[in-house]
Amino acid sequence: MRLQYGPAEEKFRSDLVAWLEANVPAQELLDVPRISSADLPDWAREWQRKLFDNGWLVPGWPPELGGRNATPVEQMIYFEEMRGRDIPRSYNPQGLGIIAPSLLDYGTEEQKQRWLLPTLRAEIAWSLGMSEPGAGSDLAALKTRAVLDGDHFVVNGQKVWTSGAHHSDWNMCFVRTNPDVPKHKGISVLIIDMKTPGVEPRPFPELSDPDYTDFNEVFFTDVHVPKENLLGELDQGWALAGGSLAHERAMLWIENAYDCQRGVEELIALGDRVGPNGYPLRDDPKFRSDVASLFVDSQAMRLMGVRGFSKFLKGKSAPEHSLLKLFGGETTQKILLAGTEALGAAALDNGAPGPRVHRRGSWITGYLRTFASTIPGGTSEIQRNIIAERVLGLPRG
Ligand SMILES: Cc1cc2nc3c(=O)[nH]c(=O)nc-3n(C[C@H](O)[C@H](O)[C@H](O)COP(=O)(O)OP(=O)(O)OC[C@H]3O[C@@H](n4cnc5c(N)ncnc54)[C@H](O)[C@@H]3O)c2cc1C
């Protein structure tokens, strides 16, 4: 089987590559470690604004929304090229990847003017308030309460794992507006100004990377939210939850496939290093066997993604995409584990060339960070449940 693009697609790619080569921010800016996923330095705002102004921010959207009406194949090329260069489109991924599409799908015209365009132009940064201490995989168990009182809601409760909350301007917050109906039916979505009295983000560090503080607990105490900040219909927030996560998963497979392929290349490059046993790792039978099987997995992953994508283009259902989040997250994890095991104590060395997959740093830091990609947007166990029930049609356990 030969996979190749037609002339129109190759022209799209060469236009994009030429534009990127002329406009990508300087490497020394890209190399500065980030503080959180809602931390937007001036250069990062300018970069996103430039993408927006030139139709390269969300190519599948119309030009007035930062796109160029790109076809799905062109969008696939776009994500390949961007991932290959290690350049995020936005330094507030939840704002651009989850909240902007939700505003597009569910916002009123006034809400789109007020929040969508400033989000696309990187004028505002967002956090996403879904998870709570008792509601993660079972999001519908959320308890943060919003009571309508005249022209505003009064919000009380707590969120957790809220990425970037302490640097965000706004929070898209899932709240319970009706406790007297089945739990999926009494949820609404409010857009909350993080500067409102009673909103208190409390950041906490990550075990895997103490210099990066993204997670927060967010406490809401008698927070007044104007009624017009309701996104979508009252009590119909469950539809937005599905929509938000679908946006998170869309096209993720391309990035996963790319990360796996690059991870295996980095693993192969380790082969020249002398391992703990005193000879080059390429002569270590376990290392050789790991590299071979992970190479096969990474190729299988890419081909499965392309097969699913071609079904999607023909309007058919593509169960492959349900498998790819799970397979991609776990393959990346195995790649980082294989490097860590092969290097032994040297895997702790931050000074040695480490893997670019999962941010720079030592192999062991990279390995610890891979756990993060098997959790958000549905943990690996939840993905297995979905595959068992919805793809394989097995009965619920
Ligand atoms: C890097 C990262 C960023 C995040 N950012 C955000 C954010 O910005 N906003 C936000 O709201 N949330 C965020 N989260 C939280 C994330 O959505 C939750 O961690 C996730 O939904 C899992 O919920 P939980 O942590 O409460 O675990 P739980 O749901 O309590 O699960 C604990 C364990 O039990 C397993 N389990 C649970 N239910 C089942 C079941 N039915 N069958 C089998 N196994 C099950 C899970 O797989 C897991 O291993 C983020 C998480 C991470 C890792």
**Residue reference for tokens 């990847």:** 97
Residues 44, 145, single domain; the answer is no
Q: 342: exposed, middle or buried (C-beta count within 10 Å: 0-12, 13-18, 19+)? A: buried
Could you report the per-residue pLDDT of 244-283, keeping only the tens digit for each? 666 656 567 777 888 888 899 999 999 999 999 899 999 9
Query: What is the CATH number for 346?
Result: 1.20.140.10
245 lies in a domain? no
Cβ neighbours of 338 (radius 10 Å): 23
Query: What is the CATH number for 207?
Result: 2.40.110.10
* pLDDT recorded at residue 71: 92
* pLDDT recorded at residue 245: 64
Residues 257, 381, single domain; the answer is yes
Residues 168, 264, single domain; the answer is no
User: Which amino acid would we find at residue 266?
Assistant: E
From atom 30 of ligand 1, which residue's Cα is the shortest distance away? 136
User: Are the beta carbons of 121 and 48 closer than 8 angstroms?
Assistant: yes
* pLDDT recorded at residue 244: 65
Q: pLDDT confidence of 5, banded at 50, 70, 90?
A: confident
Q: Are strands 216-226 and 230-231 parallel, antiparallel or unpaired?
A: unpaired
Mutate to test the pocket of ligand 1, among 189, 375, 380, 387 (most ligand atoms within 8 A of CB): 375
Query: Domain boundary at 73, 91, 109, which?
Result: 91
Mutate to test the pocket of ligand 1, among 132, 137, 167 (most ligand atoms within 8 A of CB): 137
Q: pLDDT confidence of 88, banded at 50, 70, 90?
A: confident
Residues 228, 265, single domain; the answer is no
Q: Domain range for residue 59?
A: 7-91
Q: Helix, strand, coil % (nearest 5) of the chain?
A: 50, 15, 35
Residues 266, 351, single domain; the answer is yes
From atom 9 of ligand 1, which residue's Cα is the shortest distance away? 162
* pLDDT recorded at residue 357: 60
Mean pLDDT across the stretch 202-206? 91
* pLDDT recorded at residue 316: 81
From atom 5 of ligand 1, which residue's Cα is the shortest distance away? 163
Residues 192, 84, single domain; the answer is no
Residues 72, 144, single domain; the answer is no
The residue with greater pLDDT, 311 or 127, is 127
* pLDDT recorded at residue 361: 74
200 lies in a domain? yes
Ligand 1 centroid vs 133 CA: distance in angstroms?
10
Whole-Å CA distances, 75 to 109, 192, 335: 26, 32, 27
Residues 145, 214, single domain; the answer is yes
Q: Are strands 145-149 and 126-129 parallel, antiparallel or unpaired?
A: unpaired
Global confidence as pTM = 0.92
Instruction: Report residue 234 as tokens.
Output: 């009252």
- Pocket of ligand 1 contains residue 23 by CB under 6 Å: no
- Pocket of ligand 1 contains residue 36 by CB under 6 Å: no
Q: pLDDT confidence of 338, banded at 50, 70, 90?
A: very high
From atom 47 of ligand 1, which residue's Cα is the shortest distance away? 381
Could you report the per-residue pLDDT of 63-75, keeping only the tens digit for each? 999 999 999 889 9
47 lies in a domain? yes
Ligand 1 centroid vs 379 CA: distance in angstroms?
6
117 lies in a domain? no
- Pocket of ligand 1 contains residue 93 by CB under 6 Å: no
Instruction: Report residue 47 as tokens.
Output: 């970069």
Residues 23, 87, single domain; the answer is yes
Atom index in ligand 1 nearest the CA of residue 129 equals: 11
* pLDDT recorded at residue 356: 65
Ligand 1 centroid vs 376 CA: distance in angstroms?
6
Instruction: Report residue 211 as tokens.
Output: 């210099």
From atom 44 of ligand 1, which residue's Cα is the shortest distance away? 381
Q: At what angle do helices 252-270 and 320-343 cross, to 10 degrees?
A: 20
Whole-Å CA distances, 247 to 59, 167, 207, 260: 15, 22, 28, 21
User: Are the beta carbons of 240 and 102 closer than 8 angstroms?
Assistant: yes
For the chain, the domain total comes to 3
Residues 80, 141, single domain; the answer is no
Whole-Å CA distances, 292 to 161, 261, 267, 287: 36, 12, 10, 9
203 lies in a domain? yes
Atom index in ligand 1 nearest the CA of residue 134 equals: 26
- Pocket of ligand 1 contains residue 372 by CB under 6 Å: yes
Mean pLDDT across the stretch 169-181? 97
Instruction: Report residue 300 as tokens.
Output: 């299988």
* CA 329 remoteness from chain centre: 12
54-68, 123-137, 246-260: least confidently modelled range = 246-260
121 lies in a domain? no
- Pocket of ligand 1 contains residue 382 by CB under 6 Å: yes
Ligand 1 centroid vs 136 CA: distance in angstroms?
5
**Residue reference for tokens 């007044």:** 224
Atom index in ligand 1 nearest the CA of residue 379 equals: 47
Query: Domain boundary at 235, 265, 295, which?
Result: 235
Query: Is pLDDT above 90 for 145?
Result: yes
118 lies in a domain? no
